Structure 1
């Protein structure tokens, strides 16, 4: 085979193999633990496609939906009696070890921008920041309004001792009967003080 035919075919084959290798990654939503950017940890925002990093934990429905403008919202629906007391027993985010280190022994503010879902909308929501065995913020309860609104609480994160694991941030609808659902637009973690 002549060089002027062989080399272009070899280049096309190489490009084709690279495209075939990366094709499954196109269109995939982010998953895994919430992490920082490695430079600025004063304000971490989880929004858009990154809301997909939620773990359902238990018998809960979590999915990304689009609003009227095409932006992602996180839909969470739970049924009565199926949410346990631990954050991992319901919808929650794992916070990676870099956030654990940056938040250790610091006061943080957790803000959730949320509202009731259109169908079976929750009138209240609970949220908690947990560092596992070392403690948690306790469940914070918020009364929801029909429009998106910011709900915040502050927590003094204890100093981490020993091996690092994951911190957890959980948010869920309060379910007095049957099932309830809510929509989340954004979650923000801020180091304060």
Structure 2
């Protein structure tokens, strides 16, 4: 299989992620697990402009790092280990979205979890958004820390880095990444007025 539909879906969401300012320049990454190979996934290439990205540039690789399809001059995102670790640990996860959205990344930079203050955070994210301990970019440690922190939730912050969201579809993973940014922004604005009131999990 050439996985053209999956490649194009990744490119479409990557461009949307850029247009909606969840990332800047070449930051962030998106992947989708292959339906006929649960040990492999398609992922955005590293250091390439989203504006010029095409489906043919998407890299396909295994969770162990073996390149199955890699266009000339391309290489997988430096955070491929993050995606691989999430797929390795969570059989139900079929898509991963990693953003550097500004409000959520501000929370990540001060290593503060996003508290459960919005009703929609419970069904969409599973509650508050916790912060994974810091580790250097692209390392096994940052991948393991993120997988540990997400647990059964839909997303987590990566300390001094950004957001990672997971789901059983790319659309849902993307929506979750958007909800994380929305919650961070609203909490920031609410704190300009007073103290946001946390709500209990139901």
TM-score calculated relative to the size of structure 1: 0.31
Greater helix percent: which structure?
2
Greater strand percent: which structure?
1
Larger-Rg structure: 1
Structure scoring higher RCO (CA < 8 A, sep ≥ 6) equals 1
TM-score calculated relative to the size of structure 2: 0.30
